[in-house]
A and B are shown apart, each in its own frame.
Chain A
């Protein structure tokens, strides 16, 4: 039973470093986006579980760099950090994330892209440590409405072994519910409405269902809902603010998050000039 409770901290931990639903659009060529993902767990786990630190009152700061390659691909790079009173600031890990999309000239009715994220996170903060994420993304804008679905699948390449004192049954439950060795599934989605071109409001959904073919019970799944606001105050900036409510026992109960991003144009072309695409 204790294993089921513990799964709340382990499976969720990595995702809580960059809480974001992706659009299908990729970064424009020769454009770099630098984002700071900040989130703070107001109400989460309070005890160390399988060597993982408690999440409550833990602050996560993630720097994400995304560089556009061409009009259908980009590469992202993450630096994850965590801070907690008494523990200082810790480097958590790094991921790299190439992403490709269906170019607009294919005229698909929805935007489609495929993200692949690979990297490492320290066992004190994440289980698995090494992971490879595949994520098909589908989205669409219809008038003022926008929706996006991210079908997040993670291959847990290396998971922390269970304590040696576990019985075979407990070990089996551990690999099923806490640290599956196969591919896990946790879709995310968003729906927003834009009253103005300067902001939209909406809801984001994040989840963790467990291992493919062997989902954990609803009670122990992660089901998290974030009312959000996205601000478009300038073409050079993006801001996302939200507060997330965990709907199951397996989810941190309250997280607040913010993303601040700044675009940098490396083309050095003058706006409106003979090489500018703007």
Chain B
């Protein structure tokens, strides 16, 4: 059994339980949010069109802003020809609503509707996206335009900014190409911020002296992206929706697939600038957007920022005092070579999903995931339905950094702690779509 058959069986089982209704019932009563999954032809630049699947005919899907603690009903209708599912990433909600078939959430058959009902928490910048299998079909799953931002508003908003902007990064037209670890991996023809390549969308309009709060999501299926705003520093104030203990200014920011950063920029350098990928070849294929000060004219300018290394510790507590966990769970990641002309499969403790060992949790216990990356790739690791605290990276301790995705670099070990406070099946996986589709997943269950 592979992930595809696992999902198909899970979807069929739940569909049989009548949780999914026919789309013709739409809407029996008005939900708070409606999402329609449907094919979309998207012009990302003049004459450059991608054929994808998206929510409500747009990329990204509609921004969902919702007060923390207020129940929400989201009706999702699937107008495609294959089963789909929507995962509410970073939300601490029940397994059957989380939107991962591996946890027991239902797949939505073609033509059917499913209503997700939950109480969004915790506050902060979350997102939603498809959690379906793509495998060798790089027109499915995370390679599509099925993603959107979900902002859960705190009961008291700080509001120390003049303008708030949501930006999503995505890569398009994936194809298999020789990867960094002797196997095939996804490469892309185009990149966009939101739905446009650099130079083809509306600019971000700002005024001198403003403080801009950027909510930036990397919705790429597999690529890590670096961003800089020419002539400006970026102050990271939150990661994955959670405020960081030590907001810091950096010349460039790094986002792994599924990572989010809240960044404050003081607009103190009037001009027409590019907010774009730091790597020239990525800007050339579209990863960037123009930032235009009021009353400024001319061509957009790019200034290379100083070369930057990303260190999570910069944003963590200066003194790391970590409570010892009740249990350490070692997770060893390795790739299985199938040829330079094939995609590698992935194992956790020697087994590929769905054959990976199920890890048992007890409610209220504090666990440490000891993630031993023996592969030659950096992996963005994601834990569903829980928030973890990053406690060790590259053998360096850190504290106070609460996230739901963290990169564990190649040939290193990273550790994160979490409290088992949300009973139900919980998925843990690499957020690189190719890796997760080829075995890089494990299921946690409460006992």
Binding site for B on A (CB under 8 A): 25, 71, 104-105, 107, 140-146, 194, 196-197, 232, 235, 269-270, 272-278
Cα separation A276 to B181 with both chains bound (whole Å): 16
Pairwise interchain contact B254-A141, C-beta atoms closer than 8 A: no
Measured CB to CB, the closest approach of chain A to B82, in angstroms, equals 23
Asked whether B308 is an interface residue with its Cβ less than 8 Å from the other chain, the reply is yes
Q: Which residues of A contact B189 (CB under 8 A)?
A: 105
What are the interface flags for B274-289 relative to A under an 8 Å C-beta threshold, 1 for contact and 0 otherwise?
Answer: 0000110100000000
**A145 surroundings in chain B (CB, below 8 A):** 339, 341
CB closest chain-B residue, reference A105: B189
B372-418 contacts to A, CB under 8 A, are 376, 378, 409
Q: Which residue of B lies closest to A71 (CB)?
A: B281
Contact B305 A141 (CB under 8 A): no
Query: In the complex the two chains form, is B307's CB within 8 Å of A142's CB?
Result: no
Q: B376 — which chain A residues lie within 8 A by C-beta?
A: 235
Contact A274 to B308, CB < 8 A, known contacts A25-B178, A104-B175, A197-B182: yes
For chain B, which range describes its interface: under 10, 10 to 19, 20 to 34, or 35 or more residues?
20 to 34
Given contacts A143-B341, A197-B181, A272-B310, 11 further A-B contacts (CB under 8 A): A107-B175, A140-B341, A141-B184, A141-B341, A142-B339, A144-B339, A145-B339, A272-B378, A273-B307, A273-B309, A274-B252
Q: Which of B177, B184, B340, B342 has the most CB of A within 10 A?
A: B340
Binding site for A on B (CB under 8 A): 175, 177-178, 180-184, 187, 189, 226, 228, 251-252, 254, 278-279, 281, 305, 307-310, 337-342, 376, 378, 409
Write out the residue numbers on chain B whose beta carbons fall within 8 Å of the beta carbon of A235. 376
Does more than half of chain B's interface fall in helix, strand or loop, or is it mixed?
loop
Per the bound structure, the CA–CA distance linking A28 and B278 in Å amounts to 18
Say yes or no: A274-B339 contact (C-beta < 8 A), given A71-B281, A197-B182, A232-B182. no
DSSP class of A's interface residues: helix, strand, loop or mixed?
A: loop
Complex contact B305–A144 (CB within 8 A): no
Residue of A nearest to B188 (CB): A105
Q: List 14 A-B contacts (CB under 8 A).
A: A71-B281, A104-B175, A141-B339, A143-B342, A146-B340, A232-B182, A235-B376, A269-B307, A272-B309, A272-B409, A273-B308, A274-B251, A274-B278, A277-B279
> A94 to nearest B CB, angstroms?
31
Q: Which of A104, A142, A232 contacts B187 (CB 8 A)?
A: A104
Q: Which residue of A lies closest to B177 (CB)?
A: A104
Complex Cα gap A62–B181 (Å): 30
Please, which residues of chain A bring their CB within 8 A of the CB of B338? 143-144
CA distance A277 to B278 in the complex (A): 10
User: Measured between alpha carbons, how far is A269 from B307 in the docked complex, in Å?
Assistant: 8
Bound form: Cα–Cα A274–B177 in Å: 22
Beta-carbon contact of A270 and B342 below 8 Å: no
Query: From B309, which residue of chain A is reached at the shortest CB distance?
Result: A273
A141 vs B337: C-alpha distance in the bound complex, in angstroms?
Answer: 14
Chain B residues lying within 8 Å of A232, measured Cβ to Cβ, are: 182
A142 to chain B, nearest CB (A): 5
The interface residues of chain B lying within 8 Å CB-to-CB of A275 are 278-279, 307
- Point out the residues of chain A lying under 8 angstroms from B279, CB to CB: 274-277
Q: Chain A residues near B178: list those with CB within 8 A.
A: 25, 141
For B343, give the chain A residue with the smallest CB separation.
A143
Nearest chain B CB to A268 CB, angstrom units:
9
Query: In whole angstroms, what is the CA distance A117 to B277 when docked?
Result: 37
CB distance from B158 to the nearest CB of A (A): 29
Identify the 5 closest CB pairs spanning chains A and B, nearest first: A141-B341, A144-B339, A197-B182, A143-B339, A197-B337
User: What's the Cα separation between A276 and B282 when bound, in Å?
Assistant: 11
Q: Which residues of B contact A196 (CB under 8 A)?
A: 337
**Which residues of chain B have C-beta atoms less than 8 A from A143's C-beta?**
338-339, 341-342
Residues of B within 8 A of A277 (CB): 279, 281
A102 and B337 alpha carbons, distance in the complex (Å): 26
Residues in A with CB closer than 8 Å to B307 are 269-270, 273-275
How many Å from the CB of B166 to the closest CB on chain A?
23
Residue in B228, B305, B309 whose Cβ sees the most chain A Cβ within 10 Å: B309
Cα distance A140–B178 in the bound complex, in angstroms? 11
- B341: which of A71, A142, A272 is its contact (CB, 8 Å)? A142
